[in-house]
Amino acid sequence: MAEFTMELNDDQKQVRDWIHGFAADVIRPAAAEWDEREETPWPVIQEAAKVGIYSLDFYAQQFFDPTGLGIPMAMEELFWGDAGIALSIVGTGLAAIGVVANGTEEQIGTWIPQMYGTPDDVKVAAFCSSEPDAGSDVGSMRTRAVYDQAKDEWVLNGTKTWATNGGIANVHIVVAVVDPELGTKGHASFIVPPNTPGLSQGQKFKKHGIRASHTAEVVLEDVRIPGSCLLGGKDKLDERLARARERARAGGGERVKNAAMATFEASRPAVGAMAVGTARAAYEVALDYAKTRTQFGRPIIDNQGVAFQLADMRTQIDAARLLVWRASWMAVAGKPFTSAEGSMSKLFASEMAKKVTAQAVQILGGNGFTREYPVERMHRDSAIYTIFEGTSEIQRLVIARTLSEMPIR
């Protein structure tokens, strides 16, 4: 187990600089165009695939960094470039991680390559969990998966929403209810192969921010998939459901729920790192502007009102990064989040990003309110961090429950 440190080693610095260079040279110049077009930036994804950033190997290398800093470092640099394009690049990773975490070796080997495609023919994947009536409340999920034993097929029906790459993906990973009586313990994940009849794209959302990232509903109407597309296999599912039923009878359901919550906790620092990247980008624009913009015969950074804002912005960015890196290290080191440190990092970083990008707009004044300067886009993009992967309100609830050891409602 690596000791916690804020100092990157030489290999990590090299990777960081490589990603930063791609973000500066490829992502940033394309950011405004794809934000206006509100379309998936396929050419940028293809460039990322050619250099090796858009690949499972890249994310696996960062994920298995023994210090835990690989993923947050990569996320910060990519989202420093642009949040919408970066989410288009990393969005497939959500589905890929779902397969790697829950799938068999055969499923991993079969489906992961189809999620990414090749540098000459890039593909994307979608992870479909949220529903119109089941966002933060995953226990209200209605999408059903029913097993047809005679044909060894699963039949899926329901509607998913807020799916990154939903409908345009080559492979969809769908979370569905297999046993409604078990609540969240009765859920399972399924692979929906390319061109499966019954799966269609519903509404494509026109969003306030991250507009280069495709977000849409996914409609499932009698979608039949082979039994082999149940992640982990049916034997494993049957064993898990049997254990859940036994625990429910023994009154141990709450303990199981807390164990599942700990799993979600471990993924939240990555979102915090995205927020840090966007906030850092806005801060740097504001700092450069304050140094060069003159009013009343001097740079506006000479005015205490502006200088103090920049001081606060930098302090909050560094504080957020520290929380994110601490939680990331704890997760890889196997240390329990006894104070919901994962949620803490996501909560603080996401709220910080909204505040810092708003301050950047204010420092640029009228210019900051126009699309001629990137802080306007960064401010719009920052709003998503307090919403996805659990809203700020949900993060506070998780933290409060953890600290009080009580079921706060």
Return d(Cα 202, Cα 187) in angstroms, integer.
Answer: 23
Q: What are phi and psi of 387, to 5 degrees?
A: -115, -55
Quote the tokens at residue 408: 């706060």
Of the residues 181, 389, 393, 405, which is catalytic?
389
Q: What is the DSSP letter of 205?
A: P
Q: What is the DSSP letter of 319?
A: H
Residue 36 annotated among the catalytic residues of the structure: no
Return d(Cα 46, Cα 28) in angstroms, integer.
Answer: 15
Task: For residue 29, give every residue at least 6 positions away whose Cβ sits within 8 Å of its Cβ, in sequence order, or none.
Answer: none
Return d(Cα 397, Cα 166) in angstroms, integer.
Answer: 29
Q: Dump strand ranges (E) for 305-398.
A: none
Return d(Cα 316, Cα 3) in angstroms, integer.
Answer: 24
Q: Are 66 and 1 in contact (CB under 8 A)?
A: yes
Return d(Cα 193, Cα 172) in angstroms, integer.
Answer: 7
3-state secondary structure of 147: strand
- Is 261 buried (19+), middle (13-18) or exposed (0-12) by CB count in 10 A? middle
Show which residues are catalytic. 389
